[in-house]
Amino acid sequence: MSKGMMTNTRLARHIADIGFFEPRRQLTYKSQWCCAELTASSNLCSTCGKKHETLTLSDRMFVCECGNKMCRDHNASVNLENYTARSAGIYTAGDNGSVLAA
């Protein structure tokens, strides 16, 4: 985007609004179309599952009341790994009523 376009604050605001909204709109549409669940993985505690609504992009550390403290990106990746394992029916030894998937 050119510098001149961004000096027009009204135009810049509209471009910015569309730019941030479109990926979310597409993900919502595609997940509904595929009967999938859209989850904000970076807002959920990977230990207790509590959702943290007040997390901002500037918060790089994820800190939960349950004692979980880790890098926000690492917390999100653990959530995605756990979600994938649950949805595929893969459990670790020691889970209630589960068997180790071969």
Q: How many Å apart are CA 4 and CA 15, to the nearest integer? A: 13
Q: What is the pLDDT of residues 25-66, one digit of tens each?
A: 888 888 888 887 777 788 999 999 999 988 888 899 999 999
User: Among the residues of the chain, which ranges form H helices?
Assistant: 3-7, 9-33, 72-88
Strand partners, 69: 63
Same-domain pairing of 2 and 29: yes
Same-domain pairing of 33 and 49: no
> At CB < 8 A and 24+ separation, what contacts does 74-79 make?
75/42, 75/44, 75/45, 75/46, 76/41, 76/42, 78/46, 79/39, 79/41, 79/42, 79/44, 79/46
Same-domain pairing of 84 and 59: yes
Range of the domain at 25: 1-37
Stated pTM of the model: 0.58
Is 81 among the domain residues?
yes
Same-domain pairing of 30 and 51: no
